[in-house]
Amino acid sequence: MRKPETIERLYLDFDGFFASVMQQAMPALRGRPVGVIPFDAAAANSTVVIACSKEAKAAGCRNVMRVPEARRLCPDIQLVTQRPDLFRRAHNALLNEIACEIPVDAIKSIDELTCCLDRHDITHPRDLARRIKTRLRQNIGDQITCSIGFAANRMLAKIACKIDKPNGVTIWTPAAMPAPLLPLPLSDIPGIGVRMERRLGRANIWSIEDLWKSEPKRLRALWGNVNGERMWYALHGYDIQATPTGRGMYGHARVLPPAWRNMLHARECARLLLVKAARRMRRDGYYAARLWLWLSIRKDGAYKDRFREHGWSGGRYLPYVNDDHACLSALERIWASAQTQISQRAKIIRVGVTLANLAPARARQLDIFLNDDRDRQRWERLTEAVDRINGKFGKRVVTFGPWTPPPGGYAGGKISYTRIPSAEDFW
């Protein structure tokens, strides 16, 4: 395993990405505390601030905070409805500008990326950071800033870029390590959340220094997998590359607006989300053998005895399909089961669908009794024709059954940090 003797990685994190994009697009918001919400202002008190600007953070607000609490801390906060398509276009524009200065090695989320440094950039990292920031300011705008970290590997660079936010530059050379790490809390290390911090505490690991002085095999045992050992080597400056992962599922979820929190509207939203998930799956060349539906239901709703407090979920096996007819037919069967277990008076807060047990088109194992019979082939050809028609016009013009988007739009086009939607996700 190689241990670099100099910095080799850049990690870039856009500061308050969603709110700063809104400030760049809407001049009236500049310099003011901004909170991005999922629904329009009429439903604001029943939702959360999903992202806030640096001005709002300075007043004590934070991401994923309920709107009444944000208003109490910052009475002047300006609430704006999310615009995922704008965020997608901003992400692509920013990446294009950065790629003019240095090739992007990996996109980690909609607001984070990493790059490998060449010999010149290793020698002059601050010059590279200055060029990136100048290009973004001149070609995109001065509202969207970024923090940049340089280190020997990706994880250390990621931690470093959080040190001097917003709009900072932090360089951690191998010769300086581990001194910059030791004063930080354990929660600053990617992969250490509240539960893992408690587990480490039970093992008498209370600080990054304790973690640093531990042994790789011990961390592997504490994590219960190889990730603990990989973290030890990454903290010690070794060149640890991310393990390639395969596609495991396709899914979408949506918090329902207050007027839609009933069984009828939840079913309409579930149909829409499933069609969009199936379309993404077809684009990538996969088939699914399992469909899950899950519902989050408010605790003060009326439930039947078999309903679990935190929600309801149900699944159905599929004969490796990807056409809309097969997926929607399975959903209707699951929904029929849900209706027998959930009161019609229940308040459905959130609905989600997941297509799982995936197989690439060339490697799927067919059921011996459902070996692509004529009906299935017809439905697949019909679905392909519908996709081509919608693709030609760049919008949803043909659907299988009703197509009723919930208020607020963007169902299936939500930004989930780790997935950047394509233009088709907004049809």
**Percentage of the residues of the chain whose pLDDT score is greater than 70:** 91
The answer to whether residues 192 and 200 touch, using CB atoms and an 8 Å cutoff, is: yes
**The pLDDT of residue 378:** 87
**The pLDDT of residue 8:** 96
Mean pLDDT of 325-339: 95
Is 88's pLDDT higher than 70? Answer: yes
On whether the pTM is more than 0.85, the answer is: no
Mean pLDDT of 365-370: 59
Is 1's pLDDT higher than 90? Answer: no
pLDDT tens for 17-36 read 999 999 999 999 999 999 99
The helix or strand, by DSSP H or E, that contains position 79, with its residue range, turns out to be strand 78-81
Sequence-distant contacts of 225-233: CB under 8 A, at least 24 apart: 227/191, 231/155, 231/189, 231/191, 233/1
Distance of CA 366 to the CA centre of its chain: 32
Which structural domains are found in the chain, ordered by start? Answer: 1-176 (3.30.70.270), 178-243 (1.10.150.20), 249-426 (3.30.1490.100)
Is 45's pLDDT higher than 90? Answer: no
CA Rg, the chain, in Å? Answer: 24
**The pLDDT of residue 25:** 95
Mean pLDDT of 153-171: 95
Q: How much is the mean pLDDT over the chain?
A: 88
Residues 6+ away with beta carbon under 8 Å from 226: 220
Residue where the block lists tokens 């060449």: 118
Is 91's pLDDT higher than 90? Answer: yes
- Per the DSSP assignment, residues forming a β-bridge with 14 are 146
Residues 6+ away with beta carbon under 8 Å from 352: 251, 252, 253, 254, 273, 293, 294, 295
The helix or strand, by DSSP H or E, that contains position 270, with its residue range, turns out to be helix 263-283
The pLDDT-based confidence of 370 (bands split at 50, 70, 90) is low
The pLDDT-based confidence of 118 (bands split at 50, 70, 90) is very high
The pLDDT-based confidence of 424 (bands split at 50, 70, 90) is confident
- Of the candidates 175, 143, 173, 142, the residue with the CA atom closest to the CA atom of residue 160: 173
- Per the DSSP assignment, residues forming a β-bridge with 293 are 314, 353
* Cα 264 from Cα 114, distance rounded (Å): 44
The pLDDT-based confidence of 132 (bands split at 50, 70, 90) is very high
Is 373's pLDDT higher than 70? Answer: no
* Cα 152 from Cα 155, distance rounded (Å): 9
Mean pLDDT of 352-378: 76
**The pLDDT of residue 299:** 60
* Cα 272 from Cα 75, distance rounded (Å): 37
pLDDT tens for 135-154 read 999 999 999 999 999 999 99
| Span of 40-54, 105-119, 269-283, 294-308 with lowest mean pLDDT | 294-308
The pLDDT-based confidence of 55 (bands split at 50, 70, 90) is very high
- Of the candidates 350, 335, 326, the residue with the CA atom closest to the CA atom of residue 278: 326
| Span of 38-42, 104-108, 286-290, 331-335 with lowest mean pLDDT | 38-42
**The pLDDT of residue 303:** 41
Grouping H, G, I as helix, E, B as strand and the rest as coil, residue 211 is: helix
* Cα 253 from Cα 256, distance rounded (Å): 9
Is 423's pLDDT higher than 90? Answer: no
For residues 304-325, b (16+ Cβ closer than 10 Å) or e, as one string? Answer: eeebeeebbebbeebbbbbbbb
Residues 6+ away with beta carbon under 8 Å from 96: none
pLDDT tens for 282-329 read 999 999 999 999 999 976 544 444 444 468 999 999 988 999 999 999
Look at 177 and 304; give whichever has higher pLDDT.
Answer: 177
